[in-house]
Amino acid sequence: MGCGGCRVRFNFGKVLSKASVFFTMVLIFTYFFYCLTGLCDSAPRTLYSQKFADGGDDNLDERSQVLVDLRPPPPLHPGAQLHNRTAYLDAPQVDAEEQLQQQYEQGSEKETNSIPVSNTYGTKRLPNAIIIGVKKGGTRALLEFLRIHPDVRAFGAEPHFFDRFYDRGLEWYRNLMPRTLDGQITMEKTPSYFVTKEAPSRVCTMNCQTKLIVVVRDPVTRAVSDYTQTLTKNPGLPSFQSLALKNSSTGLVDTTWSAVRIGLYAKHLENWLQYFPLSHFLFVSGERLVSDPAGEMGRVQDFLGLKRVISEKHFYFNQTKGFPCLKKPEGSSRPRCLGKSKGRPHPQIPSEVLQRLRDFYRPFNQRFYQMSGQDFGWD
């Protein structure tokens, strides 16, 4: 009897031990299952890698190509036959709002630094700084270079809040932005803000202390680049000279054409200076952003109050594209260059047309040099 009692007690102890191991294994399995399905993304983790990487995103070419397609002005409807200037200027545009909404629904958190969409760290804030212009000046390159910095978080697409979607309200705009921690800067870029009459007052209504970055480029080269981009999407466009000049015999420049009008930097800046002091602007040279990206990025980091993290070691010059690229991040299979649309060859424009445009822009350029305090050497 005594031995039987010992045997019962011994077997009962073995049962408890096995049950304990079983439940422990169940708990461990459940934990790993939840982590693998992304339900534990809110667990503490390192938000930003201090290495040169944007979260190891090796698909910048493809991503940039998608984002470039959101740039204003949107492409004209397929099949539209543009036989004259009026048809080109007044042609309907695609619904950019639908494209932006699709981008937002995919999760703006994926836009920068590979932070998981479900991560709840940080706060969505209105931008501290905005790249407001100019189209075809180098704004996409600047934004991608800035996103190397661990203290910069930027919305990757162009939200167009202050020119197209202002009626949606600041809360809608805020929700587009990525989450940031204290000490980090929230940014966005929409080049059409610089030429939008209502944009300065609207930005100031949000925050008159907002820092404003304008990437400028020789207005003649910029106009040709603008035309080239549109031409690739709409091969039926009239010639550059027929759009740029009202009359080829008189050589009168048509300032109603957006490709010409955008290059009147002094006139656009006058509008912004009614609401912001000059000290709130940084004018970045699109040419130097190509020839000396590290130097221009040093100026940008100083203007934003950031530590100079982005330097020469992050860039190399791609001879094929004619643009600087970001060096290959550790663990990546390839370097990171802008999309295939960058560096496309320009069409041949008659030299007399280009000279007429240079003569036209010269007084506006000189005025812009005086207003900005910088001589960009376009003349």
Which residue ranges are tagged as binding site for 3'-phosphoadenylyl sulfate? 136-140, 217, 225, 342-346
Start-end of H helices in the chain: 2-36, 60-68, 85-90, 96-105, 139-146, 170-176, 199-206, 219-233, 240-244, 258-261, 265-272, 286-291, 293-303, 351-372
Residue 74: its H or E element:
none
Is position 136 annotated as part of the catalytic site? Answer: yes
Residues at the binding site are 136-140, 217, 225, 342-346
Cα→Cα distances 118→55, 109, 121, 275, 375, Å: 16, 8, 9, 38, 47
DSSP tag of 325: E
∠311-313-316 over CA atoms, to 5°? 105
Catalytically annotated residue among 18, 110, 136, 340? 136
What is the DSSP secondary-structure string of 123-182?
A: EE---SEEEEE-TTTTHHHHHHHHTTSTTEEE-SS---TTTTSGGG-HHHHHHHSPEE-T
The residue among 129, 130, 132, 127 whose CA lies nearest residue 269 is 132
Which of 185, 163, 204 minimizes the C-alpha distance to 74? 163
DSSP 15-26: HHHHHHHHHHHH
Active site residues: 136
